[in-house]
Amino acid sequence: MAGAAELLALAHVREDLERVEATLHEAVASGEPFLAEVARHLVLAGGKRLRPALAITSAGVARDTPAPAADGVVRGAVAVELVHLGSLYHDDVMDEADTRRGVESVNARWGNLVAIVGGDFLLARASEIAAALGPEPAQLLAATIAALCEGQVGELVRAFDVSRSEETYLSTIASKTASLMSTSCRIGALVAGLDRPVVDVVTNYGRLVGMAFQIVDDVLDVVATDEQLGKPAGNDLVEGIYTLPVIRALASEGDALRALLGHRLEPDEMARARDLVRSDGAVALAIDVARGYVCEAASALDALPPTPARDALKAFSADLVDSVVTAFRRTPRGG
């Protein structure tokens, strides 16, 4: 999936992300060596660092000339990445995932209890950093963590529900994914001291991009390989998390698919379910929904004067669906 690459067209963002990386390593340090090892496990595994890139780029949308981000902006970027990482630790426990970012998941390596405590530690470090940035960033991050929890619970209570509606799906991803993308943009702009109307524009942009990002991620779960994802493909279907392409497939004469779903799938059942979702146009329809959010995100930025950072955000949103379209075109349709 598209990551920070488009935003990295701004050379200073690449340099700022190097500062983010160094600060991330400092943030996960602990006087307890084992906890430090657990906390840095996914930091060392790398990642797109998309949320920090959004924070840093949003902080620069009012500048005609690119410049390095202020230290506070870098710390805000670290805070949102720590929230993301902490949520991944918890997600992998709930999903019983074996891998993440191409490496062994924390829960697979050290067990669920360690993974939960490790995730809590990362969230606590994020909150500590945000509190030092001021009351509004601290409140914003706390509200975002609450939204992530609401989205996760909303997903859990609808697990294996073949009647899950598109409306509830979109509501869930608004909390679970779009909220943190939106916060990433907002915290960068807030800490940079941008005018409130500009802060609100990039906040809305982040929300819309977050919606598109999660739909793209859900489509990739249906069409991509384990190697492309860095985690098991088709896991949402196995776990009963029926995402937009599945919902669209069920709505379009999905009797065969409906007969397969409703319980935890065996590997051969999962493969068959993926084939059915890919075969009836549901994936293309889901991609169209993602593209709609992407267009809205780009349009939202038209309220701002052209600057290198604004244009980089536009380029990122425009290119977001390319990876999933490419993966889908390479995937055989049907069983």
DSSP letters for 127-147:
HHHHHHH-HHHHHHHHHHHHH
Provide the 3-class DSSP secondary structure of residue 263: coil
Q: Is 281 left (phi over 0), alpha (psi -120 to 50) or beta?
A: left
- Binned at pLDDT 50, 70 and 90, residue 333 comes out as very low
Give pLDDT tens digits for 225-279.
777 776 778 889 999 999 999 999 999 877 899 999 999 999 999 999 999 999 8
Whole-number percent of the chain with pLDDT over 90: 73
CB 185 within 8 Å of CB 316 = no
- Binned at pLDDT 50, 70 and 90, residue 11 comes out as low
CB 80 within 8 Å of CB 126 = yes
* Average pLDDT score over residue span 295-304: 96
pLDDT for residue 4 = 59
CB 130 within 8 Å of CB 140 = yes
- Check if CATH label 1.10.600.10 holds for domain 7-329: yes
- Binned at pLDDT 50, 70 and 90, residue 32 comes out as very high
Domain boundaries, the chain: 7-329
DSSP 72-126: HHHHHHHHHHHHHHHHHHHHHHHHT-SEETTEE-HHHHH-HHHHHHHHHHHHHHH
Answer yes or no: is pLDDT of 2 > 70. Answer: no
pLDDT for residue 102 = 74
Q: What is the Cα–Cα distance from 255 to 253, expressed in whole angstroms?
A: 6
Give CA angle at 256 (254, 260), nearest 5°: 110
Nearest one of 195, 155, 163 to 304, comparing CA atoms? 195
The model's pTM is 0.91
Q: What is the mean pLDDT of the chain?
A: 90
Q: What is the Cα–Cα distance from 52 to 211, expressed in whole angstroms?
A: 17
pLDDT for residue 95 = 79
Q: Which range (10-19, 122-131, 251-260) has the least confidence?
A: 10-19
CB 250 within 8 Å of CB 264 = no
